[in-house]
Amino acid sequence: MASVTFKNVYKRFGDVIAVNNLNIEVADKEFLVLVGPSGCGKTTALRCLAGLEEISDGEILIGDRVVNDVAPKDRDIAMVFQSYALYPHLSVYDNMAFGLKLRKVPKDDIKRRVQAAADTLGIQDLLERKPRQLSGGQRQRVAVGRAIVREPKVFLFDEPLSNLDAKLRVAMRAEISKLHQRLQTTFIYVTHDQIEAMTMATRIAVINKGILQQLDTPQNLYDHPNNLFVAGFIGSPAMNFFPGKLRKDGSKLVVDTGDFVVAIPATHTKPYEGHAGKDIIFGIRPENIHDADFIPPNIDAEKVAIKVDVTELMGNEIFLYLVSGKNTFVSRVDPRSKLRVGQQAQVAFDMDSIHIFDGETEQAIR
Ligand code: ATP
């Protein structure tokens, strides 16, 4: 068990800055997820921690020890790769035992550790098989098992679920969360999938273009994104954005998109007062736009005229793709909604749940 610290870490490949001044403190036993779009530098950050890439600048600590010059095998970490990287000619048992044999761990000890890991992962019956005789999910378990037997201080996962089908991914997500609870060890997990990040992490680091955008709990990222990038990345369907202006209308402060105008409730205007007259981006999540016939009680609702472009009936909810002037956006409405394609109607924006971003800096205004 150990904490992990990235201190002003840079990784450059020629002109490309893959990791740009990364500062993260991962607490002991934490489950930290690094998430971001393809090419944002998350795998590089993990590989730097594993010692598979040398950092260009800064410090990486595992516990209190600076590991910049420590060989990968001496960092007391174990990594599970997207490709699983199993040896095809070795049995499951030997794949799991391989690293321990290299380290000259006594045979009895190896046996005990492999059996215990196999029990934990429910693969006791597969120990004699070769990797080609396993399903994708079983191979994934063996790769995790090989990491567990090392009894490392820190587990690193690099997109370990990407090669599994959607249903198995959901099941393995829950298993990895359970494993974290059982092992009580620090987990650092890389994914491009924000749902994986939201469901498993104690904290999430959102990265874009090598730069850390926000490090926070899943709920805080969802409720209080720092900037437009985080707001658009976390949440599915994504938050709707409308470029517009904030302006005074008598005693009211309103958002004017050019196509519709909505008033900000008087109780919420304080942070925005100084931005009256300025360009902003107005954000609202799909679940905060309601069919006007099914408005939840006690919200500050503002009506907006729309035309329904597409409907997706999900059973427990309906996704409506809506048009208002030049804007297209998504709402997630009550399954009893009768709104259908081509219809002109009104929807209600829950103005207690809005986000406003500076039009220039794209930072959240709070
Ligand atoms: P993905 O989800 O696609 O794996 P990622 O967020 O993990 O993406 P990285 O693999 O860390 O991204 O890559 C970050 C940037 O560094 C990219 O622009 C990539 O092209 C570049 N890069 C990574 N490895 C190397 C390398 N060995 N040589 C040169 N450039 C590299």
HSE-CB of 122 using CA atoms within 13 angstroms: 7
* Nearest-CA residue for atom 5 of ligand 1: 39
Q: Note down pLDDT in tens along the chain; length 366 residues.
A: 799 999 999 999 999 999 999 999 999 999 999 999 999 999 999 999 999 999 999 999 999 999 999 999 899 999 998 888 899 999 999 999 999 999 899 999 999 999 999 988 889 999 999 999 999 889 989 999 999 999 999 999 999 998 888 888 888 899 899 999 989 999 999 999 999 999 999 999 999 999 999 999 999 999 999 999 999 999 999 999 999 999 999 999 999 999 999 999 999 999 999 999 999 999 999 999 999 999 999 999 999 999 999 999 999 999 999 999 999 999 999 999 999 999 999 999 999 999 999 999 999 999
Which alpha helices (H) appear in the chain, and where do they start and end? 42-50, 92-102, 107-121, 136-148, 166-183, 194-200, 218-223, 228-233
Q: Cα–Cα distance between 231 and 317 in angstroms, integer? A: 22
* Nearest-CA residue for atom 1 of ligand 1: 38
C-beta 243 within 6 A of ligand 1: no
Residues 6+ apart with CB under 8 A from 125: none
C-beta 39 within 6 A of ligand 1: yes
Q: What is the DSSP string of 214-281?
A: EEE-HHHHHHS-SBHHHHHHSSSSPPEEEEEEEEEETTEEEEE-SS-EEEPPGGG-GGGGGGTTSEEE
Pocket test for ligand 1, best of 16, 82, 209 (most atoms within 8 A of CB): 16
Pocket test for ligand 1, best of 6, 10, 43 (most atoms within 8 A of CB): 43
**pLDDT for position 253:** 97
This model's pTM is above 0.85: yes
* Nearest-CA residue for atom 17 of ligand 1: 39
CB 346 within 8 A of CB 303: yes
φ, ψ for residue 78, nearest 5 deg = -135, 140
**pLDDT for position 120:** 86
Instruction: State the closest ligand 1 atom to the C-alpha of 44, by its place in the atom list counted from 1.
Output: 11
C-beta 40 within 6 A of ligand 1: yes
Q: In Å, what is the CA distance from 249 to each residue of 210, 215, 279, 358?
A: 42, 37, 16, 20
Q: Nearest Cα to 144, choosing from 168, 129, 130, 161?
A: 161
**pLDDT for position 164:** 82
Measure 53 CA to ligand 1 centroid, in angstroms: 11
Measure 106 CA to ligand 1 centroid, in angstroms: 39
CB atoms within 10 A of CB 96: 29
**pLDDT for position 85:** 87
Pocket test for ligand 1, best of 12, 13, 194 (most atoms within 8 A of CB): 13
**pLDDT for position 334:** 95
Instruction: State the closest ligand 1 atom to the C-alpha of 14, by its place in the atom list counted from 1.
Output: 29
Question: Locate tokens 């904290």: which residue?
Answer: 203
C-beta 191 within 6 A of ligand 1: no
CB 200 within 8 A of CB 173: yes
HSE-CB of 293 using CA atoms within 13 angstroms: 7
Residues 6+ apart with CB under 8 A from 163: 82, 83, 84, 136, 140
